[in-house]
Protein backbone atom coordinates (compact mmCIF):
# COMPACT_ATOMS: atom_id res chain seq x y z
CA UNK A 1 0.00 0.00 0.00
CA UNK A 2 1.03 3.57 -0.45
CA UNK A 3 3.20 4.21 2.58
CA UNK A 4 6.12 5.99 0.92
CA UNK A 5 7.46 8.95 2.77
CA UNK A 6 10.21 9.65 0.26
CA UNK A 7 9.98 10.29 -3.47
CA UNK A 8 10.81 7.46 -5.82
CA UNK A 9 14.59 7.65 -5.88
CA UNK A 10 15.03 7.05 -9.58
CA UNK A 11 12.32 7.39 -12.16
CA UNK A 12 13.04 5.49 -15.34
CA UNK A 13 13.88 7.85 -18.18
CA UNK A 14 12.51 5.54 -20.89
CA UNK A 15 8.93 5.46 -19.57
CA UNK A 16 6.56 8.32 -18.76
CA UNK A 17 6.18 8.94 -15.04
CA UNK A 18 2.40 8.56 -15.14
CA UNK A 19 2.94 5.06 -16.59
CA UNK A 20 5.35 4.26 -13.78
CA UNK A 21 2.79 5.37 -11.18
CA UNK A 22 0.17 3.32 -13.05
CA UNK A 23 2.50 0.28 -12.88
CA UNK A 24 2.96 0.72 -9.12
CA UNK A 25 -0.77 1.09 -8.44
CA UNK A 26 -1.72 -1.76 -10.79
CA UNK A 27 0.75 -4.09 -9.09
CA UNK A 28 -0.69 -3.18 -5.70
CA UNK A 29 -4.22 -3.90 -6.94
CA UNK A 30 -3.16 -7.18 -8.56
CA UNK A 31 -1.36 -8.29 -5.38
CA UNK A 32 -4.57 -7.71 -3.44
CA UNK A 33 -3.29 -4.84 -1.34
CA UNK A 34 -6.64 -3.21 -2.11
CA UNK A 35 -9.50 -5.70 -1.98
CA UNK A 36 -12.41 -5.75 -4.40
CA UNK A 37 -14.82 -2.97 -3.43
CA UNK A 38 -12.29 -1.16 -1.26
CA UNK A 39 -10.97 2.29 -2.09
CA UNK A 40 -7.53 3.04 -3.39
CA UNK A 41 -5.81 6.11 -1.93
CA UNK A 42 -7.30 9.46 -2.88
CA UNK A 43 -5.46 11.81 -5.22
CA UNK A 44 -4.42 13.85 -2.19
CA UNK A 45 -2.96 10.75 -0.52
CA UNK A 46 -1.23 9.76 -3.76
CA UNK A 47 0.23 13.27 -4.05
CA UNK A 48 1.72 12.76 -0.60
CA UNK A 49 3.07 9.36 -1.63
CA UNK A 50 4.61 10.81 -4.81
CA UNK A 51 5.55 14.33 -3.71
CA UNK A 52 7.80 14.95 -6.70
CA UNK A 53 4.96 14.51 -9.21
CA UNK A 54 2.19 16.83 -10.34
CA UNK A 55 -1.42 16.01 -9.51
CA UNK A 56 -2.24 15.68 -13.22
CA UNK A 57 0.48 13.05 -13.63
CA UNK A 58 -1.04 10.99 -10.82
CA UNK A 59 -4.56 11.56 -12.12
CA UNK A 60 -3.54 10.23 -15.54
CA UNK A 61 -2.30 7.00 -13.91
CA UNK A 62 -5.57 6.57 -11.99
CA UNK A 63 -7.58 7.36 -15.14
CA UNK A 64 -5.76 4.56 -16.98
CA UNK A 65 -6.59 2.15 -14.15
CA UNK A 66 -10.22 3.14 -14.58
CA UNK A 67 -10.12 2.77 -18.38
CA UNK A 68 -8.75 -0.75 -17.99
CA UNK A 69 -11.42 -1.72 -15.49
CA UNK A 70 -9.20 -2.09 -12.42
CA UNK A 71 -11.09 0.61 -10.55
CA UNK A 72 -14.28 2.65 -10.77
CA UNK A 73 -14.50 6.25 -9.69
CA UNK A 74 -17.52 7.59 -7.82
CA UNK A 75 -17.49 11.36 -7.92
CA UNK A 76 -17.27 12.81 -4.44
CA UNK A 77 -16.91 9.37 -2.84
CA UNK A 78 -13.69 7.72 -4.02
CA UNK A 79 -12.14 5.25 -6.42
CA UNK A 80 -12.82 1.58 -5.75
CA UNK A 81 -11.28 -1.69 -6.91
CA UNK A 82 -13.47 -3.63 -9.32
CA UNK A 83 -13.74 -7.45 -9.41
CA UNK A 84 -10.85 -9.16 -11.18
CA UNK A 85 -13.09 -10.54 -13.93
CA UNK A 86 -13.75 -6.93 -15.02
CA UNK A 87 -10.07 -6.06 -15.49
CA UNK A 88 -9.09 -5.45 -19.11
CA UNK A 89 -5.40 -4.55 -19.18
CA UNK A 90 -4.09 -3.33 -22.51
CA UNK A 91 -0.62 -4.74 -22.01
CA UNK A 92 1.01 -1.32 -22.31
pLDDT above 90 for 9: no
Give the confidence band of 10 by pLDDT, cuts at 50, 70, 90.
confident
The predicted pLDDT at position 89 comes to 85
Between the CA atoms of 49, 22, 78 and 44, what dihedral angle is there, to the nearest 10 degrees?
30
Confidence category of residue 5, pLDDT binned at 50, 70, 90: very low
pLDDT digit string, tens, across residues 28-82: 999 999 999 999 999 999 999 999 999 999 999 999 999 999 999 999 999 999 9
Amino acid sequence: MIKRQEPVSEWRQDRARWKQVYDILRQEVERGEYKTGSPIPSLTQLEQAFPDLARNTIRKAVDRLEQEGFVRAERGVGTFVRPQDEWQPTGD
